[in-house]
Amino acid sequence: MTTRQDDIRMRRTVPILRMFDAELTKQFYIGFLGFRLDWEHRFEDGLPLYMQLSFGGCTLHLSEHFGDATPGAAVRVEISGIAAYHAKLLGQSYKYARPGLEKTPWNTTELSVQDPAGNRIHFYETDEER
């Protein structure tokens, strides 16, 4: 049977990011960025944590498992209302991050943050959306 390119559909992407400290990670993603904790999983007490967080259409998996990911990854997240999100983040006075907005030569406005494991999240809005 021949498969045509039109028969193949890729769906959403869910990056897996490495974490080392679950509580600091939750403070960052849930407390600061406003993500929701969807679920957590450990095979048993004392073993590494794996969890899913989401905010609107963005879903992230975070893992303490050694082989799941490398710290220092970068993820780009398309967002609408970046100026309002920026104001919300700054209004929290989170002591570990005070992100700025950057206008790029490729016609986006971007806000970048680094999580406790060194992963970088780049939120961006295209100028056409604004």
- For 18-51, write each residue's pLDDT tens digit: 999 999 999 999 999 999 999 999 999 999 999 9
**Domain membership of residue 63 as a residue range:** 13-126
Domain contains 34: yes
pLDDT of residue 129: 59
For residue 61, the domain's CATH number is 3.10.180.10
- Mean pLDDT over 52-62 rounds to 97
Whether 56 has a pLDDT exceeding 70, the answer reads yes
Contact status, residue 52 vs residue 61, Cβ threshold 8 Å: yes
Domain contains 77: yes
Rounded distance between C-alpha atoms, residue 106 and residue 34, angstroms: 27
Whether 68 has a pLDDT exceeding 70, the answer reads yes
Rounded distance between C-alpha atoms, residue 83 and residue 123, angstroms: 11
Domain count, the chain: 1
Domain contains 17: yes
pLDDT of residue 1: 63
Domain contains 6: no
List phi, psi (to 5°) of 54.
-145, 155
